[in-house]
Amino acid sequence: MADDLNDVTEDDDEVSESSEALIAVHWRDEGYYPPPASFVAQANASDPAIREQFTEDRFPDDFTAYADLLTWFKRWDTVLDTSEAPFWKWFVGGELNASYNCVDRHLADKANKAALIWVAEPESEAHQAITYRELYVRVNEFAAVLKSLGLKAGDRITFHMPMVPELPVAMLAAARLGIIHSQVFAGFSGTAAGHRIADSGSTVLVTVDGYYRSGELLDHKVKADEAVEAAAKEGQQVDKVLVFRRYPGQYSAATPMVEGRDVFVDDLLAEHKGELVEPARLQATDPLFLMYTSGTTGRPKGCQHSIGGYLSYVAGTSKYYQDIHPDDTYWCMADIGWITGHSYIVYGPLALGTTSVLYEGTPNYPDAGRPWRIAVQLGVNIFHTSPTAIRMLRKVGPDEPAKYDYHFKHMTTVGEPIEPEVWRWYYESVGKGEAVIVDTWWQTETGGFLGSTLPGIDPAKPGSCGPAALGILPVILDEDGNEVPAGSGKAGNIVIRNPWPGVFQTIWGQRERFVSTYYAKYNKDPKSTDWRDWPYFAGDGATEAADGYFRILGRVDDVINVAGHRLGTKELESVALTVNEVAEAAAVPVIDDVRGRVVEMYVSLKPGFAPSAEIEAKVRDAIVKDIGKIARPKNIWIVPDMPKTRSGKIMRRVIAATSNFTDTGDITTLANPEVVEKIRQQVQSAKHAKGEVPRELSETELSEIKSFGSE
Ligand code: 6R9
């Protein structure tokens, strides 16, 4: 894989250095993958002239093309209001409802078309196809339930839901009333959900009794009890826990219901059968939802997304980048608990009136052929997933796709950089050489895609996300704010010069952190109301090739991207510090061939305690309990001392190098350089014994480890 990353660099060089003839040959065979003519013929965007509608001189009015994909109760007066920079306000004065746009408006011509097809994990269970008409009924009934609980526009509600159709129903029901929803990934622990409930000030939690993962019917209700308790500790009372039942009428959890607080939703729904709730006329600038993500401090960030701007942006990008047509069967295998699922399972596809597939389980259960059987059965023609899932399916079932007769026209990879070698397996084996691939770069904060090829126009290049998305104006800047030119081969911080409709409005309850994290770095005048003075700092390192394609190198902060999901090192470390014996803790990334990165923890103990497997287990359990299984450290190393600077700062790059078997670099400035060798011997001999020696790392991987956590 290391070699493949180098391949891409070589391709880039060739663009500027080789002769035209050589480029042509080289591009076609290795570097570039143009879309097949059959795709171009049907694509929503196939004329390069579309870019001319989104040039800088047309900003911000260019984005009204996206807003026009929606149905507005009242059209906006102002496209972009910058008066409170950088709290951008899009489509000011406009009134709309997201639930109306994703459901009601399709009744006229698509009432009997499937909006959602839910696939249960057990293959013995039948699929559930929910038509737009039925979705309308279910959303209205659940909205009636929420209304009967006294919830109203502007209130917050937390969902801690797995991949069941009740989740999009609940989201759209909240959206119907203007209740701000916050869906927490079901794989996160009850405690993590509790922190997010408290942060958002939710009084109602919606959950399920159980769901299937890898063949097991998990008790999920137990997490609701933990969540309520954790929220109460932070002063937030949860009055009601609404429990959907995986099998209506039958309780699947072992944990008892709490009298007066917990209610079965199927009972409540029966009381509101057939009720209709008018979709509220909401301001475009009202919040639609919060999506929590990790940052460099322990407190999670509730990214607040607007109704009008967000919905416009996901509708527009779903149309042009996912190439969704109403007749497609579209399957995004991500989880709705992440931004990808919000934007590209629920809001974007449903706004366009397509059929969106929802799968409950793990991709390789009961075997690596499962996704391809689903694709055949449902006639999926657009497929969307992450590099981690692709690597895993490739590892356990490289020859499986060929056994199944499905045909994708379009595939997506999202969430982390994809190695060209993995990209090629995706293209050749999963896509059978017939499907275009978009590698979409974006973030929870950005609502929708920022970098991607336009699949009917631009050739794909493995390892690069492609050019900027329509209307997005990126630039790469060095630490001093100087532009790093395209084709220079140098990396820097990728920055977006302009606002766009999908950008989040603020961090819930943390306005200053919003400005300081995303806008302060390259802002020269905090009083300016000109958008040109407020470049958006994405926190990713990137390079731009001479052809204008961006290659994203990963986070520049202390965030570890595990299987495409961001975990904050400070969050992990503060959990480790809750273990009584632990004096100091540091979290570092370890390169992993399937999950991209995994977490490794280093801890040192308070005086009087000796290292033991028991303490290791305590740290591991605390992390799983407080954050979730996704954060489970690969190893926990109890070390005699942490390598530190003279000012006492833990040198994470030194231990990251140790964990990854790379060069620790200059350690002469450390206060305790002698400890580095001790730790190296301890960790690396234990790793050798476990057979955990990593392969040779690529240049970008090496540079990430080398600079990890650097100040
Ligand atoms: C959508 C999503 C965002 C971070 C982002 C970057 C990484 C996302 C990527 C990618 C390389 C891609 N990332 N897409 N890196 N190529 N196509 O993943 O949101 O969970 O907030 O993570 O993920 O580092 O900054 P989120």
- Answer yes or no: is pLDDT of 438 > 80: yes
Please indicate, yes or no, whether the overall pTM of this predicted structure exceeds 0.75: yes
DSSP E strands, 15-127 = 78-81, 89-92, 95-96, 114-119
Q: What is the rounded distance in angstroms from the CA atom of residue 519 to the CA atom of residue 473? A: 15
- Answer yes or no: is pLDDT of 10 > 60: no
452 Cα: distance to centroid of ligand 1 (angstroms): 12
- Nearest-CA residue for ligand 1 atom 15 is 416
Tokens for 510, please give them: 């943390």
Distances (CA, A) of 361 to 56, 214, 218, 283, 679: 43, 7, 11, 37, 40
Q: What is the rounded distance in angstroms from the CA atom of residue 154 to the CA atom of residue 173? A: 14
- Atom of ligand 1 at shortest range from CA of 552: 11
State if residue 549 touches ligand 1 by the CB under 6 angstroms criterion: no
Side-chain-side CA neighbours of residue 157 (13 Å): 32
pLDDT value for 710: 66
Of 199-203, 408-412, 663-667, which range is least confident? 663-667
- Answer yes or no: is pLDDT of 297 > 90: no
- Answer yes or no: is pLDDT of 2 > 80: no
DSSP β-bridge partners for residue 468: 451
State if residue 364 touches ligand 1 by the CB under 6 angstroms criterion: no
State if residue 415 touches ligand 1 by the CB under 6 angstroms criterion: yes
pLDDT in tens, 210-239: 999 999 999 999 999 999 999 999 999 999
Q: What is the CA radius of gyration of the chain?
A: 25
State if residue 220 touches ligand 1 by the CB under 6 angstroms criterion: no
State if residue 449 touches ligand 1 by the CB under 6 angstroms criterion: no
State if residue 523 touches ligand 1 by the CB under 6 angstroms criterion: no
Place of tokens 């356990």: 396
- Atom of ligand 1 at shortest range from CA of 413: 17
State if residue 280 touches ligand 1 by the CB under 6 angstroms criterion: no
Distances (CA, A) of 280 to 68, 79, 96, 155, 645: 20, 22, 8, 14, 57
Mean pLDDT of 507-524: 97
Backbone φ and ψ for 403, nearest 5 degrees, come out as -80, -10
State if residue 354 touches ligand 1 by the CB under 6 angstroms criterion: no
pLDDT in tens, 532-585: 999 999 999 999 999 999 999 888 888 899 988 888 888 899 899 999 999 899
State if residue 602 touches ligand 1 by the CB under 6 angstroms criterion: no
- Answer yes or no: is pLDDT of 17 > 70: no
At residue 535, the 3 state secondary structure works out as coil
- Nearest-CA residue for ligand 1 atom 26 is 443
Q: What is the rounded distance in angstroms from the CA atom of residue 251 to the CA atom of residue 677? A: 55
Place of tokens 């300081």: 516
State if residue 293 touches ligand 1 by the CB under 6 angstroms criterion: yes
Strand pairing class (95-96; 282-283): antiparallel
pLDDT value for 276: 98
Task: Find, among 591, 596, 592, the residue nearest to 702 by Cα.
Answer: 591
332 Cα: distance to centroid of ligand 1 (angstroms): 16
Of 66-75, 268-277, 415-424, which range is least confident? 415-424
